[in-house]
Structure 1
Amino acid sequence: MLTKRIIPCLDVTAGRVVKGVNFVELQDVGDPVAIAKQYNAEGADELVFLDITATVEKRATMIDVVERTAAEVFIPLTVGGGIQSVAEMKAMLQAGADKISLNSAAIKQPTLITDGAQKFGSQCIVVALDVKRCVTGWEVYSAGGRIATGLDAIVWAKEVEDLGAGELLVTSMDKDGTKDGYDIQLLNAITAAVSIPVIASGGCGTSQHIVDVFEETNVDAALAASIFHYGDVSIAQVKEELANNGLAVRV
């Protein structure tokens, strides 16, 4: 049985970790390197590090912060935000990232997914889907949730898998920061459509929500931010609860 992964997310802007609600009202949480070290020590399985304003501000991801984080963290590190080319992917991997997360750039230039997968392997390419409910189902948004793309989330998930993505990071914008649980319906729709691993994101408010998402969907990992940043629960406590519910985790 494959172990379920617990992945804290560090949303970074201007060199600081921030957290908001529904992708807005951002509040400062702290220093990314210090927070990453803490989560590494607590037993996180991986970390996701997203420069959430790089695309909007049309600048490169902060490579110095990635280097400093990678020097202190010894679990897989996924880095995304503003990465526009294979050369920028290479720079991030050389800085210490293990995986690259693509979102807006993949929507604008889908061949970037294939190019990255061919150069570095599919396991390095994570495509992030920021998704909001609409009349017909779910729509993909770009630019940090600011621009509606018209793309159907299920169709896009299948397409990026075909293009070579090795993993999907699916964030419910409706649930983001609300702490009222993951979007189970969305995640079931996505996991039914693809065969690559799916990371659930958006809405985690308690350790029970993580238990629920693993019991009620086929996602491979659960990403959370607020509950860990604000000390609502520790990663060790979450893993203990998962184990008590018969779910396989790395202790």
Structure 2
Amino acid sequence: MKKKRLIPVVLLRNGWLVQSKEFKRYQNIGNPMSSVKRFSEWESDELIYLNISRDESFDMRRDDLGHPNHHTLLDILADVSKVTFMPITVGGGIRTLDDIQTRLSLCADKVSINTQALADPNFIYSSSREFGSQCIIVSIDARRIDNQYVVMGDGGREITPHKVKDWVKKMEDSGAGELLINSVDRDGTKTGYDIELLDEVANAVNIPVIALGGVGDFSHFAEALSETNVDAVAAANIFQYMDQSVFLAKNYLVDRGYNIRKIFNRK
């Protein structure tokens, strides 16, 4: 039986690792390179690295920290490749096939596409034809409006005309290899995943679905794995505030019988 995946998410905003809440408030919480290195050492199955910057300004304004103060995303990704030994998905700012090629050549095994899929759905078809569907993830920000799930654009700010259940099927048909489903309503709330949203998506498609948004306790991972057919559970904030967080989360799930990859040195 295929194992489920546990995936940390790193949110990069203008050079900083940030904590997000409802796509509105962002708190700087550290150096994004250090976080990637820790997740690799803690035997994460994968990592999702999302650039959520609103512009091209990358400056930590902390030269005293002793870390390189890179001023472009590509420079940051080049350094990421030096400290990680796990598959990485890179998302944010992807508009062309050349953008995908550049990220794949630097450190990415997969790319996550959101805004460009909404602007030009045919881009997913072109991307999957060029690079293979196995490395194309479509990221979808969803919100519940008038008792139905709607796709949100512009970083969760804009209501699109697309219903989630229709959009995910369209993306699958266009060649997406996986879907990353993020609940805008649950983002940063620590109240758990939107189970109804995840269930709706997982039942609508035949490609892997990654759950994101709302985790505040390890039990929320277990809830999504028990009550939906998602292939992976992902989170950002919860992994940043405790030592060995990925290791502890995996142990929690393994001890309760969930079919995830065990920690290498666990007896």
Class of the TM-score when normalised by the shorter of the 2 chains: over 0.9
Matched, 1:195 2:200: no
For residue 178 of structure 2, the aligned residue among 164, 167, 173 is 167
Give 1:67 shift.
1.3
1:76 aligns with 2:74: no
Q: Is residue 99 of structure 1 aligned with residue 97 of structure 2?
A: no
Task: Give the 5 Å matches for 1:220-239.
Answer: 220-231=231-242, 234-239=245-250
- Could you tell me how far apart the structure 2 residues matched to 1:113 and 1:86 are? 10
Q: What is the alpha-carbon distance in structure 1 between the residues aligned to residue 261 and residue 203 of structure 2?
A: 25
What is the aligned partner in structure 2 of residue 62 from structure 1? 73
Percent of residue pairs identical:
40
Q: Which residue of 2 aligns with 1:26?
A: 26
1:57 positional shift:
2.7
CA contact (8 A) 1:70 1:77 kept: no
Deviates more, 1:160-169 or 1:134-143: 134-143
| Partner SS, residue 156 of structure 1 | helix
The answer for unaligned runs of 5 or more in structure 2 is 59-71, 263-267
Deviation at 1:233, TM superposition (A): 7.2
Which amino acid in structure 2 is aligned with residue 125 of structure 1?
I
1:9 equivalenced with 2:9 (yes/no): yes
Q: TM-score, normalised by structure 1?
A: 0.95
Unaligned 5+ runs, structure 1: none
- Write the distance in 2 (CA, Å) between the matches of 1:230 and 1:127: 28
Q: Secondary structure at the match of 2:182?
A: strand
* Paired amino acid for 2:8: P
* Number of residues of Structure 1 aligned to a counterpart in Structure 2: 249
Q: Deviations over 1:33-81 (max 9, x none)?
A: 110010111111111111112xx43789711111111221111100111
Pairwise CA RMSD: 1.6
**What is the match of residue 126 of structure 1?**
137
1:97-127 deviation digits (Å, cap 9, x = unpaired): 1101000111001111011101110011000
Q: Which deviations, in whole Å up to 9, do the C-alpha atoms of 1:4-34 show, x marking residues without a partner? A: 1111111101111101210121001111111
Indicate conservation of the 8 Å contact 2:14/2:57, yes or no.
Answer: no
Distance change >3 Å, CA 64–CA 58, structure 1 → 2: closer
1:211 paired with 2:209, answer: no
Given the alignment of the two structures, is residue 112 of structure 1 paired with residue 110 of structure 2, yes or no?
no
Deviation by residue 1:113-157 (Cα, 9 ceiling, x = unmatched): 011101110011000000000114111111211221121011000
CA distance in 1, matches of 2:153, 2:91: 13
Amino acid at match of 1:245: R
Q: 8 Å contact 1:207–1:233 — kept in the other structure?
A: no
**Aligned counterparts of 2:103 and 2:42: Cα–Cα separation in 1:** 25
Once residues 227 and 218 of structure 1 are traced to their aligned partners in structure 2, the CA distance between those partners, rounded to angstroms, is: 22
